[in-house]
Structures are given as structure tokens and as C-alpha cells.
Amino acid sequence: MTTKEAFAQEYEKSLYAIAGKGFEESDIKEKYYALGNLIKSYSGELWHKTRKKQNASSEKSVYYFSMEFLTGKFMKKNLEYLGLFDLAEEFFESKGVCLGDLFDAEEEPGLGNGGLGRLAAAFLDSLSSLGMPGHGYGIRYEKGLFRQGIKNGYQEEIPDNWLVDRNIWEHKRYSEKLEVRFGGRIDYILKGDKYTFKHADYNVVYAIPYDTPVLGYKNQNVNNLRLWGAESPEDLDLKEFSKGNLCGAFNKIDETKSISQVLYPDDSYYEGKKLRLKQEYFLVSAGIQDVVRNAVKNGIDLKSMDEYIAIHINDTHPAMAIPELMRVLMDEHGLEWEDAWEITVKTCAFTNHTLLQEAMEKWDVNLFRELLPRVWQIVEEINNRFLNKIRNGEKAVSLTDIEKLSIISHNTIHMVNLAIVGSHSINGVAKLHSDLLKDRELNHFYRIFPEKFNNKTNGIIHRHWLLSANKGLADLIRDLIGTGFERNPIELKKLLEFTEDSQVLNKVESIKHNNKIRLAKYIFDTKGIKVNPYSIFDIHAKRIHEYKRQFLNILHVIYLYDLLKNNPNLDILPRTFIFAGKAAPGYYLAKEIIKLINRVADIVNNDLTIKDKLKVVFLENYNVSLASLMIPAANVSEQISTTTKEASGTSNMKYMMNGAITLATLDGANIEIRDEVGDDNIVIFGLNDYEVNAYYRDRNYDPVKIYTENKRIKNTVDKLLNGYLGDAFGEFQPLYDSLIKHGDQFFVLGDFDSYATAQKRINTLYKDSQNWSKMSLVNTAGSGVFSSDYTIERYAKEIWGVGAPERKD
């Protein structure tokens, strides 16, 4: 694309443009901005060409609506995708600067909580890399999610000012701003023999688009991630200002801006907060208006909009896209209800990401009606028509079913119901999850609309998690099977030919070891803890939640530690347990779990009598960059959720790809991982879904009985209270109570023995290092099916009706 000399010259110019400085004079941040700016000049042209091509073509476009996009940093990826990485590295090296230092200078956008947001970013990556027109709509949260610090073992939340300097990747397009309307009243106006609706006395918020290019992998295709920022149309209130009321002068502006200030840090607990509702409507209204505006500009007849446009609703958070599209089609473009409804349902599709009841969105009718009067009318009408239809339909529906099916009941709006009624497709994110939706949680809907239900197992960006994050392993794979797997990761299966080749297995081991050394260095630099890279790296990194059971893991560590203390010669291999993850700030028990992990770490790491056989580390501020360092270094991947609670999981796929052995319950996509690698190459434990469901149904799970009858469990759990952990004020009482007094909702005690046995098996397996490397290679070989490219191909074909380009296999 460009030569070394041209690159050097262009970089120099870019540095002048960005900083008005030369190379020697500029600091690392300026060097970073200048390189970002140069990258943008390359990708900008491709972006323009892609847009032109897409606007001129009748190919269907996908718009992915999501409250979260966890993109990770952009610089390294963009260099790799443009094929400029080596050139840039060489250039900076020749100048005595490490390219990695520029990557470190980039702020990571924290625009997601976890799996749902990362999946959205993966999908955009795959859409671009497969050359499909697919764009994202989200919110440009100025403060993102909080940054996590640890103080005295406790989580501290620190505002994440990621935009305080500048974001080199985005383009503000003020002239394309749109109006989003809140509050006010609806007037009915008779036009001929037809009533029309006029929204009056509303408040306006400007939605300002900020576009970030989403590059495809070495394919010249560039899609768009459009994030909306909220601004007030009002200027300073000069009356207030001149009265000296400075606060009052800014009030309205600040209130409006707050819409795009922070991402709610909850990912599993729904709270009916007005600001969250405003954020959701802000995204949806701006996005839908933009989609329709574009369609009209491109000459699309809105009555056949569904042939050109697919709208995807990522969980219920953007489900108001359904009534908003109805509103725009009817009120702004004069379509009749019936036509608008048919188009809306055909255009929209919805993914459910959780079965947790406490995460289901429900809005209070009064709040909703007051904030969004016109959208409320439409939702009410959708519900009335839907209920009439099923009452008069062929299928017999009971009164209890009607109550469960109704979008509005008990003064609340059930967003899942709205999303299902208003779209043509609803999918779960792993086989088990989709089956549970059909058979249990949403069975009442499945009986009405069986054709809408389908499964789309999640996926991950193999380009990031293998090619970029684990260059050592990717190079070995290229040597063994060529480069075909880069574009067609299913080819990783060819690695199965090498499972008996001891030279290859030794290389697999040494690559892992190098990754472990890299992580060990990070741990030492950030935490001052020395860990042994020859120990088993056992990693549990994800949001902290009772259902993800970091508690089970750390209880088992306490148990192991006690065994070791009583018998320092115990036959166990050295093990390093590494944790990372944020807790929602209001989730008390999750924060207690962090505290417990850090307390155990303090005790274990400073106890010389156990001869370094155990180490415990909690790495703070888990994000995409940290994950990219941790995952390639893992020997063991902890995927130990209470069965039926983890919809899919995606980190499980990343670890597998990097050759870690999965230690798992048969939950979410763990089941599909087991099916890929076979029972010999994964370690499974715990209750299965029938057993968990039977406990729920029969209400006969008895943790107190387990506790009193099982000595090692009692001994371990008692350590939470008896001073063993140096807890002066009964600080771990709430955790103890969750097990003993509050019924152990997540079966920690029920699975403890089985988990301990599984951990013992890990220990035995690791002793045979050749066999372990073989298992590791089998996991990498089987991971290709989990590339998000394949997931997106299935969405394209089976949900969106988008023609994915034919693969040349």
C-alpha cells in the first residue's frame, strides 16, 4: 500500500499537522495521535469508497443497535487490518521508539459492561471483514464505565475520563444532527377523514453523530460505528446568567448532556431508572430517524424497506426501535398502521442474552407515558392489536398465557414481550440457552410464534484473540498448516494431525510458557507479586457475580491452602489462581467476593510455610487489553457458572482458542465446546440443567444439610467466620449467610465436592506435560467453529436475509 520512505514522510507531515512538532520534540501521546491520524488518512479513502459502493448498491444493509460496544483499542488493530503493522514497527524501531508504547498511550473506550458489548464489537468486526454492509448504532458515553481500583482489598470506582484529551478515531458530524423529543403532549388533528397526531410542548435533545470507521481485515471494506452524543439546543440562559445565577444558566444544558455521560454499570440487575430510559430512547430515536433518512436519500421506497434494511436489537435495551420505527413511518411518512407494522416486523430482529429474571427490563407505565407520550400510544396499540389477534386466533390460549403474553400488565411494560411481538426473529446465544427460552422461559411465546425462535451460538474475533493476542501460537500454526485458517478458521482442525508430534507439542508448551512469563511480569509490575511461570496459571476473569461463582473458586482455594498448611509436602503442583473483573457498584455481595479474594491473596502469598505452592492474584480494571494479556497465558479456564445461568459465555471460546483447558459446568456454550473437543480434553463437573431445574421445581435443595454433613465443606465455610482470615468484624458474615441462611441460590455447596474433584483431575493431568500440550492443541484445533465470522454468516443467512459472499473453501 505504501513504501517505507513514503510512510516516513507521511508520518512526519502528520506529526506537524497534529502537534506542530518534529519527531524528537514530540512526546509519546503526540506520536500516537500522529500515527492515528496517518492511519485515518489511509482508512478514510477506503471508507469513502465503501460508502459510495454501498449507497449505490441494492444490497441489504444491517444496522446493529446496541447500548454497548466494547471495541477495545483501535491503533494496533487498524494497523494489522490495513497490513501496515510490520512497516510501522520497523519505522518506529529505526527511530528508537517501541510501537507498543504508542499502543499503551491509547485510552481504551469503556463502552460496555461485558459479554454483550464485546459481542457487538465482534459482530461489527466480522461484518466488515466479510465485506457485508453492517453498521453499529450506540451511545458515545463520555465517561464510559467506571475504572476499577482496589484499596485495602475493596473495589473503588473511579470515573473513566477516556475522552478528556481527544479521540483520534472519531469524526463528529454536527451537520447530521437529529432531534430527539421527550415529554410534552399529543394533539389529535383531523385531516380529511383521518386523525393525525401532533406532538406538542416537548423538550428537544440534539443527537450528534460521531462516526468511527470499522475496518475489515485486509479487504478494503470499511463500515461505520455511529455513536450519538447528546447536546442541548439551548444556549446559556442569559437571563439567569446576567442575574448572576451561574448554576441556573447551565442547568438545562447539563441535564441534557447527562444522557450521554455514563454507561450504567449493571449487567445483570434491572432498575427502572429514568435516565436509563432516556438513554435508550435517545439511541433508538436517533438511530431509526437516521436509518429512514438514509433510506429515503438512497431512493428506497419505505413500503419495501425490509428488502434493503435489517435492524438488529441487541437485547431489549433498544427494543423501542419497534414503536419508534412505527412512529416515523406513520407520523413522518404517512404510512397506514397495517403497512407500517408489516414493514417493522419484517425489518426488526431481536437477540436475548440472559435468562436471569432480575435482568429483564420492565418499565413503569407512568414514567414511560410521561417521558414518551407518542411511543406509549403506539406500544399500547401494538399490545391491543396483538392480544385481539391471539384471542381470536386458531390456537387456544389460556387466561394465564394471555397475562404472560401481554406487553403491558400490572402497570408495567415488558420489553421482552414487545421485542418478540415486534420482530420476526428471536434468538438465544447458545444451544442450551435457546432451548431453555423455547421450552421454559418463553414457552408461552414459542407456542404462538414457533417460527420466530432460533439459536445463534456466539462467537469471537479469531483475528484478535489468536492472530493478534497470541502471535507466537499464530506463527506456529502458520508453519504447520499454512495461512488458510486466517480467513477460514475452521481450518484450525488441521492441527489435529500434529497431536502425536512431540516436537510440535514442545513448541506449544514453550509458547504458553513465554506468554506466562509476559503475564508474570505484568503481575509483578502492577501488584508486586512474584508468581512462578512454571506453576499452573488458573484464570477466572469476567464480571463478578454470584452466578459466575468466583466464590466457589476462592472457597476451594481456602480449602487447598488449609490442606497445604496441614501438610506442606502435599502432592500438588504449584498453582497460581488469577482473578479479574468488575463488580456493579451497588452489588454488595459481589464486592464482598472481591474483598474475600484479596484477603485470601494477602494471607496465602505471604505464608512462607507453603513454599510458593499457591499464589492468588486479583488484577484490577479488567478490560479488553488486560484480557488480551491474560487469556494467552492461561493453562486453566474457569467457566464454572451455576448451570442454566450463563447464556453462552464468550471468554470460554477465547481461552479454548489459546489452548487453555476448560474447567466447566455444562452451561451455555461450554456444552458446545465439550462437543467439539470431546470429554478427554475438557474437565466437566457439577449439577446439570435437569438437576438444577429439579431443585428449583421441587424446592428441595438443602445447603444446611450439606454443610452439617460434609466435614470438609463445614471446615472451609467456617473459616469465613472464625478468624482464620483475620476478619475482626465478621466482615465475611454476609457471604457466609448467603450460603447458610439464604439458601445458597447458586449451589456453591452443592457443587463444591465435584469442583474439588475436578481440580484434582487438573492437577493429575498437568503432570503429564506432553499430554497436557496435546489437549491444549486439540482445544485450539476445535476453536475455529467459534469464530464470529461463522456466527455472522448464520445471522446473515437465517435472520437478516443478507447475502453473505460465498466462501471459497
Binding site for ligand 26V (CB under 6 A): 113-116, 119, 264, 266-268, 270, 315, 353-354, 359, 361, 429, 458, 646-650, 668
Greatest Cα-to-Cα distance within the chain, rounded to the nearest angstrom: 92
Is 185 one of the catalytic residues? no
Sign of the C-alpha dihedral computed for residues 171, 110, 123 and 783 taken in this order: positive
The minimum distance between CB 113 and ligand 26V, in angstroms, equals 5
Q: Judged by CB, which is closer to ligand 26V: 406, or 455?
A: 455
The minimum distance between CB 671 and ligand 26V, in angstroms, equals 13
The minimum distance between CB 415 and ligand 26V, in angstroms, equals 10
Q: Judged by CB, which is closer to ligand 26V: 11, or 655?
A: 655
Give the C-alpha separation, 501 to 486, whole Å. Answer: 23
Catalytic residue among 135, 464, 512, 542: 542
Asked if 278 contacts 317 with a C-beta cutoff of 8 angstroms, the reply is no
Give the C-alpha separation, 75 to 102, whole Å. Answer: 9
- SS3 letters across 317-346: CCCCHHHHHHHHHHHHCCCCHHHHHHHHHH
The minimum distance between CB 562 and ligand 26V, in angstroms, equals 33
Catalytic residue among 118, 140, 545, 548: 548
* Number of helices (H), then strands (E), in the chain: 33, 23
Q: Is 193 helix (H, G, I), strand (E, B) or coil?
A: coil
Q: Which three cell numbers stand for residue 72?
A: 477495545
Q: Judged by CB, which is closer to ligand 26V: 106, or 266?
A: 266
Dihedral in degrees, nearest 10, Cα atoms 720, 722, 725, 731? 60
The minimum distance between CB 115 and ligand 26V, in angstroms, equals 3
Catalytic residue among 31, 327, 353, 456: 353
Catalytic residue among 50, 650, 665, 791: 650
Give the C-alpha separation, 541 to 753, whole Å. Answer: 22
CA distance from start to end of the chain: 27
Give the C-alpha separation, 80 to 82, whole Å. Answer: 5
The residue sitting closest to ligand 26V, measured at its beta carbon, is 115
Q: Which three cell numbers stand for residue 228?
A: 450519538
Q: Which residue blocks in 441-587 are alpha helix, DSSP H? A: 443-448, 462, 471-481, 484-487, 502-527, 550-566
- Amino acid of residue 119: L
Q: Judged by CB, which is closer to ligand 26V: 312, or 353?
A: 353
Give the C-alpha separation, 771 to 769, whole Å. Answer: 5
Give the C-alpha separation, 622 to 627, whole Å. Answer: 7
Backbone angles phi, psi at 511, to 5 degrees: -65, -45
Give the C-alpha separation, 358 to 361, whole Å. Answer: 8
Nearest to 15 by CA among 28, 2, 26, 4: 26
Which residues is 134 bridged to in the sheet? 62
What's the DSSP call for residue 787?
Answer: B
Question: Is residue 702 classed exposed, middle or buried when 0-12, 13-18 and 19+ CB atoms within 10 A define those classes?
Answer: middle
The minimum distance between CB 283 and ligand 26V, in angstroms, equals 13
Q: Which three cell numbers stand for residue 593?
A: 467476593
Q: Which three cell numbers stand for residue 399?
A: 387466561
Catalytic residue among 140, 438, 549, 654: 654
Is 543 one of the catalytic residues? yes
The minimum distance between CB 317 and ligand 26V, in angstroms, equals 7
Q: Judged by CB, which is closer to ligand 26V: 80, or 125?
A: 125
Give the C-alpha separation, 436 to 451, whole Å. Answer: 16
Give all strands of the β-sheet with 408-409 in edge-to-edge order: 362-364, 412-414, 408-409
The minimum distance between CB 664 and ligand 26V, in angstroms, equals 13
Q: Judged by CB, which is closer to ligand 26V: 266, or 789?
A: 266
Q: Judged by CB, which is closer to ligand 26V: 111, or 511?
A: 111
Q: Judged by CB, which is closer to ligand 26V: 116, or 552?
A: 116
The minimum distance between CB 184 and ligand 26V, in angstroms, equals 27
Is 444 one of the catalytic residues? no
For residue 674, the number of C-alpha atoms closer than 13 Å in the C-beta half-sphere is: 17
The alpha carbons of the chain give a radius of gyration, in whole angstroms, of: 27
Q: Which residue blocks in 57-114 are alpha helix, DSSP H? A: 75-82, 85-94, 99-105
Asked if 637 contacts 657 with a C-beta cutoff of 8 angstroms, the reply is no
Q: Judged by CB, which is closer to ligand 26V: 135, or 548?
A: 548
The minimum distance between CB 809 and ligand 26V, in angstroms, equals 28
Give the C-alpha separation, 88 to 636, whole Å. Answer: 35
The minimum distance between CB 18 and ligand 26V, in angstroms, equals 36
Q: Which three cell numbers stand for residue 38?
A: 496517518
Q: Judged by CB, which is closer to ligand 26V: 26, or 148?
A: 148
The minimum distance between CB 589 and ligand 26V, in angstroms, equals 17
Q: Which residue blocks in 154-245 are alpha helix, DSSP H? A: 238-242
Give the C-alpha separation, 443 to 435, whole Å. Answer: 10
Q: Is 454 helix (H, G, I), strand (E, B) or coil?
A: strand
- Amino acid of residue 406: S
Catalytic residue among 414, 424, 543, 545: 543
Is 431 one of the catalytic residues? no
Q: Judged by CB, which is closer to ligand 26V: 779, or 791?
A: 791
Q: Judged by CB, which is closer to ligand 26V: 78, or 354?
A: 354
Nearest to 455 by CA among 673, 136, 668, 653: 668
Q: Which residue blocks in 576-710 are alpha helix, DSSP H? A: 588-605, 624-630, 651-657, 670-677, 689-698, 703-709
Is 177 one of the catalytic residues? no
Is 654 one of the catalytic residues? yes
The minimum distance between CB 273 and ligand 26V, in angstroms, equals 9
Nearest to 625 by CA among 76, 225, 141, 142: 76
Q: Judged by CB, which is closer to ligand 26V: 270, or 537?
A: 270
**Catalytically active residues, by annotation:** 353, 542-543, 548, 650, 654
